[in-house]
Chains A and B, each alone.
Chain A
Amino acid sequence: MALTGVEIFKLLPKTNCKKCGHPTCLAFAMKLAQRQASLDACPDVSEDAKKLLGEASAPPVRPITFGAGDKAVKLGEETVLFRHEKKFVNPCAFAVEIKDTSREADVLKTIEDVLGSEIDRVGQKLRVDAILISNASGDPKALESVSRLVSEKAAGVPVIISTTDAGAAVSALGYFKDKRPVLFGANANNIESMAKAAGSFKAILGVTANGLDELISLTEKAKSLGTEDLVVDPGARKAGGIIEQNTIIRRAAIKKNFKSLGYPVITFAQRDDNMLESLIAVAGVAKYSSIIVLSSVTKWKSLALFTLRQNIYTDPQVPMQVEQKIYKIGEPTPESPLMITTNFSLTYFIVSGEVENSRVPSRLAVMDCEGLSVLTAWAAGKFTASKIAQFIKEAGIENEVSHRELIIPGYVAILSGAIEDKLEGWKVTVGPREANAIPAFLKSK
């Protein structure tokens, strides 16, 4: 349970020595309660207090690094339930399942798909992060041979070994020494041997249960065995159950600081119907899964899921504005068209996307209108003829382009005369009202 500031204060030395950088022990205690300070800052705290407080002040969802090297992914560490409160911390990882019953050629193909899955979207590199090797055959040899193949051909990609057979796990894990794999499949029958296997390879233990009560008893058991780096599967496979269980887990961890559920969640989204599988994964991305297992790497599916993950995990505090400047799209020459719009980030993304679509290299002048869209900015007197004229003059664009033609959004067609009056030598052309008409407009120019 989370401790209050006063409860924490009772455990501190109460000397007000200020070494922690706070004026009093109480002030420091308050910061600790809000998780805005770390106990390490107080050099004089007793060992007993450390133990008690350490438990209470640990992050509510345990931070875990899955994999090693530059493809490692961080899991957990989340602090809120809703993305508008604060940025979600560690984007979920996507893993693709390879069954050890697959033919070698298919295994190689999936590995190739994983390695080739990386795409670039608005400046971020996105990819299928991990491979789950499942012991579908029940045969330790089959698991071992696929594990060997993956370790050779997909070196560096974080791996989950999924089996309920601790003996099979040991031989598979041997291929991923020091690679921080997940050993998934610990249940009520095998948790001791599985925890031991995971421990001897410094692997993360994946616990699987049928419901939350069983899950709690398993994580508590794992902890008593000294295994604390866990990912948890509460058992649901349908959209409603996944959201329900994930919500309860996240809520218990964050609002109640309930340690036995304070672990990253792994969600199994695999379905025969790839479209439905994608939507199950959507539920996981939106609602708190840390690892989402898919049945295949499919480009259209990856693109949608990567994009959603990016949307959900963006920082909600960052204002919805982009920087005022003249953006180059494609490789514009001095003759290329010049368009103007406002700096509302959505307006910018949509307009620049459509200009890109048109494949006509262009310049897009984005004017600071305090993040308002074109019509709203115009109505608020921020996107007026005189302000546009002033911006164009001051942006130094006259040295960059050889022509003197400015394309304005169709919604502010009314401004064209006034801008021409204020911008001597310039011709104003009225562009389309909706961004989706931009490609046709630019191509016909």
Chain B
Amino acid sequence: MAFVIPKETYSGKVYPVTIGTGDNAVTFGGENVLPFNGFEGSTPNKPVIAYEIQDIPPSDWPENVKKPFEAVSGDPVKWAKHCQDTLGARAIALRLTGTHPDRENLSAGDAAKTVKDVLSAISVPLIILGSNHAEKDSQVLVACAEAAKEKNCVIGKAQEANYKTIVAAAMANNHKLIAMSELDINLSKQLNILITQMGFDKERLITDPMSSALGYGLEYTYSVMERIRLAALAQNDATMQPPMVADVGMYVWKIKETQALEADLPMWGDLAKRGVLWEASTAASLLISGAELLIMRHPEAVQAVEKFISEMS
């Protein structure tokens, strides 16, 4: 009996999302199959990795991921240029950590200035991320969305507690938007619906189902992503069809496995390699479960994942 490959034909498709402007704009999403399943459909765009930078020096990053940026991380503009010009970043994710009330408590105006400065120094797309303080983010991101008007940036993250102002700002200034909810497919769906009900085009959305690090809840993110992707493809659920982002670096570089010295835990092996692999393997797992956009920190981890992505087809 001749073997017929059991192919799935899905009725749904992930929206392609383009960010940035001009020659350096990038597009991700657009596929109508599960990740790495190009044999049964089309995967027009490869996943994109954005390098994470901050508006303030990364004093809270562990040594091993601070070091590669030592010479540039004192200044977000230099840092961004380094990622673009030296590391070949296809996109930059600027996290406005310094605006958090418990950190430097920088103002919305400060943040907007940083965004402007960074934008004028780079030509690759910019992802603008708040400090994850719901209240403060709604002021900060509104100012930044305006400062970045017409640059086709990604603004994030809109959450249930603050989405209204952020959505309005992203819409008024023609940006894409990350909608984040906490590890639950229904919450994700609901937030996407609320946002589109405000008139925001669902084809401009990016879903963040919340990332987690390998060993610290990765399986939850993994399965929520698989379920979202299946809902998009098999059930043709339009609210689940925006591409997904995995904000990998910030979750990975705060756990014990990326910081504990080999001298203290000899069974865990070389710390530098371990940290890099932790970020790369978390990222690779989330690519397999459905992420199209990754936000990462360590250059070696990014390189490893790029090699992995190049083996997708």
A residues neighboring B (CB under 8 Å): 82-84, 119, 121, 212-213, 216, 238-241, 243-244, 247-248, 251-252, 255-256, 258, 260-261, 273-276, 278-280, 282-283, 286-287, 298-305, 307-308, 310-312, 314, 316, 320, 345-346, 349-350, 353-354, 356-357, 373, 376, 410, 433-436
Shortest distance in angstroms between B249's beta carbon and chain A's nearest beta carbon? 13
Q: In the complex, A111→B5 CA distance in Å?
A: 41
Query: Which segment, of B66-74, B144-152, B193-201, B272-280, faces chain A?
Result: B272-280
Please name all residues of chain B whose beta carbon is closer than 8 Å to the beta carbon of A320 when the two chains form the complex: 220
Residues A240 and B312 in contact, CB atoms below 8 Å apart: yes
What mask results when residues 1 to 31 of chain B are scored 1 for a CB within 8 Å of chain A, else 0?
A: 0010110100000000000000000000000
Say yes or no: A312-B222 contact (C-beta < 8 A), given A303-B268, A436-B60: yes
> Residue of A at shortest CB range from B307?
A276
Shortest distance in angstroms between B158's beta carbon and chain A's nearest beta carbon? 17
Q: What is the interface size of chain B, counting residues whose CB is below 8 A from a CB of the partner?
A: 58
What mask results when residues 277 to 310 of chain B are scored 1 for a CB within 8 Å of chain A, else 0?
A: 1101100110011000000000010001101100
Residues B60 and A308 in contact, CB atoms below 8 Å apart: no
Q: In the complex, A316→B220 CA distance in Å?
A: 8
Residues A303 and B307 in contact, CB atoms below 8 Å apart: no
Shortest distance in angstroms between A43's beta carbon and chain B's nearest beta carbon? 34
Residues A356 and B288 in contact, CB atoms below 8 Å apart: no
Residues B313 and A240 in contact, CB atoms below 8 Å apart: yes
Please name all residues of chain A whose beta carbon is closer than 8 Å to the beta carbon of B102 when the two chains form the complex: 410, 433
Cβ 8 A contact of A300, one of B255, B259, B274: B274
Please name all residues of chain B whose beta carbon is closer than 8 Å to the beta carbon of A243 when the two chains form the complex: 35-37, 288
B60, B257, B285: which has the most chain A beta carbons within 10 Å? B285
Shortest distance in angstroms between A66's beta carbon and chain B's nearest beta carbon? 25
Please name all residues of chain B whose beta carbon is closer than 8 Å to the beta carbon of A119 when the two chains form the complex: 267
Q: Please report whether the interface of chain A is mostly helix, strand, loop or mixed according to DSSP.
A: helix
* Chain A to chain B contacts (Cβ below 8 Å), 26 pairs: A82-B227, A241-B311, A243-B36, A243-B37, A244-B37, A248-B6, A260-B3, A273-B307, A275-B300, A278-B280, A279-B304, A280-B308, A282-B285, A286-B285, A299-B270, A301-B277, A303-B257, A303-B269, A304-B278, A311-B214, A311-B218, A345-B217, A346-B216, A353-B256, A373-B182, A436-B60
Please name all residues of chain B whose beta carbon is closer than 8 Å to the beta carbon of A307 when the two chains form the complex: 214-215, 257
Please name all residues of chain B whose beta carbon is closer than 8 Å to the beta carbon of A311 when the two chains form the complex: 214-215, 218-219, 222
Please name all residues of chain A whose beta carbon is closer than 8 Å to the beta carbon of B5 when the two chains form the complex: 212, 248, 252
Say yes or no: A308-B288 contact (C-beta < 8 A), given A239-B36, A299-B269, A300-B268: no
Q: In the complex, A2→B6 CA distance in Å?
A: 14
Cβ 8 A contact of B281, one of A252, A279, A346, A433: A279
Shortest distance in angstroms between B189's beta carbon and chain A's nearest beta carbon? 15
Query: Which B26-55 residues have a C-beta within 8 angstroms of A?
Result: 34-39
Residues B308 and A83 in contact, CB atoms below 8 Å apart: no
Please name all residues of chain A whose beta carbon is closer than 8 Å to the beta carbon of B35 when the two chains form the complex: 243
Please name all residues of chain B whose beta carbon is closer than 8 Å to the beta carbon of A261 when the two chains form the complex: 3
Q: In the complex, A282→B288 CA distance in Å?
A: 9
Please name all residues of chain A whose beta carbon is closer than 8 Å to the beta carbon of B247 when the two chains form the complex: none
Is B223 in contact with chain A by the CB < 8 A criterion?
Answer: yes
Please name all residues of chain B whose beta carbon is closer than 8 Å to the beta carbon of A244 when the two chains form the complex: 36-39
Please name all residues of chain B whose beta carbon is closer than 8 Å to the beta carbon of A278 when the two chains form the complex: 277, 280-281
Once A and B bind, how many residue pairs between them come within 8 Å at the CB atom? 166
B215, B288, B304: which has the most chain A beta carbons within 10 Å? B215
Residues A298 and B6 in contact, CB atoms below 8 Å apart: no
Q: In the complex, A317→B296 CA distance in Å?
A: 30
> Residue of B at shortest CB range from A275?
B304
Please name all residues of chain A whose beta carbon is closer than 8 Å to the beta carbon of B106 when the two chains form the complex: none
Residues A279 and B284 in contact, CB atoms below 8 Å apart: yes
Cβ 8 A contact of A276, one of B214, B256, B308: B308
Residues A213 and B226 in contact, CB atoms below 8 Å apart: no
Say yes or no: A346-B267 contact (C-beta < 8 A), given A279-B284, A279-B305, A357-B256: no
Is B248 in contact with chain A by the CB < 8 A criterion?
Answer: no
Cβ 8 A contact of B214, one of A213, A274, A300, A308: A308
Residues A279 and B280 in contact, CB atoms below 8 Å apart: yes
- Other 10 A-B pairs with CB < 8 A, given A213-B3, A256-B6, A286-B289: A240-B312, A244-B37, A247-B37, A251-B8, A275-B273, A282-B288, A299-B269, A304-B214, A354-B256, A433-B102
Cβ 8 A contact of A308, one of B3, B182, B285, B312: B285
Residues B281 and A304 in contact, CB atoms below 8 Å apart: yes
Residues B274 and A238 in contact, CB atoms below 8 Å apart: no
Q: In the complex, A373→B212 CA distance in Å?
A: 14
Q: In the complex, A403→B65 CA distance in Å?
A: 40
Please name all residues of chain B whose beta carbon is closer than 8 Å to the beta carbon of A302 when the two chains form the complex: 269
Please name all residues of chain A whose beta carbon is closer than 8 Å to the beta carbon of B312 when the two chains form the complex: 239-240
Is B168 in contact with chain A by the CB < 8 A criterion?
Answer: no
Please name all residues of chain A whose beta carbon is closer than 8 Å to the beta carbon of B219 when the two chains form the complex: 83, 311-312, 314, 316
Please name all residues of chain B whose beta carbon is closer than 8 Å to the beta carbon of A376 when the two chains form the complex: 182
> Residue of B at shortest CB range from A119?
B267
Please name all residues of chain B whose beta carbon is closer than 8 Å to the beta carbon of A298 when the two chains form the complex: 269, 273
Please name all residues of chain A whose beta carbon is closer than 8 Å to the beta carbon of B307 when the two chains form the complex: 273, 276, 279
Shortest distance in angstroms between B34's beta carbon and chain A's nearest beta carbon? 8
Say yes or no: A239-B182 contact (C-beta < 8 A), given A244-B36, A308-B285, A353-B256: no
Residues A356 and B39 in contact, CB atoms below 8 Å apart: no
Q: In the complex, A299→B219 CA distance in Å?
A: 22
Residues A252 and B288 in contact, CB atoms below 8 Å apart: no
Closest 6 CB pairs of A and B: A299-B269, A300-B269, A300-B274, A243-B36, A239-B311, A84-B223
Q: In the complex, A140→B267 CA distance in Å?
A: 36
Please name all residues of chain A whose beta carbon is closer than 8 Å to the beta carbon of B270 when the two chains form the complex: 299-300
Residues B274 and A276 in contact, CB atoms below 8 Å apart: no
Residues B182 and A240 in contact, CB atoms below 8 Å apart: no
Is B164 in contact with chain A by the CB < 8 A criterion?
Answer: no
Shortest distance in angstroms between A412's beta carbon and chain B's nearest beta carbon? 14
Please name all residues of chain B whose beta carbon is closer than 8 Å to the beta carbon of A316 when the two chains form the complex: 219, 223
Is B260 in contact with chain A by the CB < 8 A criterion?
Answer: yes
Please name all residues of chain B whose beta carbon is closer than 8 Å to the beta carbon of A433 when the two chains form the complex: 102
Please name all residues of chain A whose beta carbon is closer than 8 Å to the beta carbon of B260 when the two chains form the complex: 357
> Residue of B at shortest CB range from A248?
B5
Shortest distance in angstroms between A20's beta carbon and chain B's nearest beta carbon? 32
Please name all residues of chain A whose beta carbon is closer than 8 Å to the beta carbon of B60 when the two chains form the complex: 436
Q: In the complex, A350→B276 CA distance in Å?
A: 20
Cβ 8 A contact of A353, one of B3, B216, B289: B216
Shortest distance in angstroms between A149's beta carbon and chain B's nearest beta carbon? 25
Residues A255 and B269 in contact, CB atoms below 8 Å apart: no
> Residue of A at shortest CB range from B212?
A346
